[in-house]
Amino acid sequence: MGRTEAGAANRRFAMVQTGKGAIGGLLWLCYVALVGRPDVMEMIALAGLLAPCALAALAVMGVPLEILEAASPACLNELTSTSQTGTTIHGIAKMLRPA
């Protein structure tokens, strides 16, 4: 992938993650409006809704897309599912291995 293509892919990734973070922020505000002030454990859980914003910031800073995709919550399914060997470590290593 050329330098221009990589930059465009990072920008697209950043836009998608920003959208996810914005939706997470709206969900957080709805929760606070309907339920009230969250306690510490709820605050930690709700902070996960804003995690895509950190990925978007890293994409804008030029972190390679492969690393961002590995860190993305979208890869959580791959990380938590059991592979043919029955371990998640195999799935993690396979995902992080350079192509």
Length of the chain: 99
What are the distances in angstroms from CA 96 to CA 33, 76, 78, 92, 93? 40, 13, 11, 6, 5
Half-sphere exposure of 50 (CA within 13 A, CB side): 9
Residue 23's pLDDT is 94
Compute CA distances 77 → 15, 25, 43, 45, whole Å: 22, 23, 24, 18
CB atoms within 10 A of CB 38: 15
Q: What is the pLDDT of residues 21-40, one digit of tens each?
A: 999 999 999 999 999 998 99
Task: Note the pLDDT tens digit of each residue in 42-86.
Answer: 888 888 888 888 889 988 998 888 888 877 765 555 545 544 444
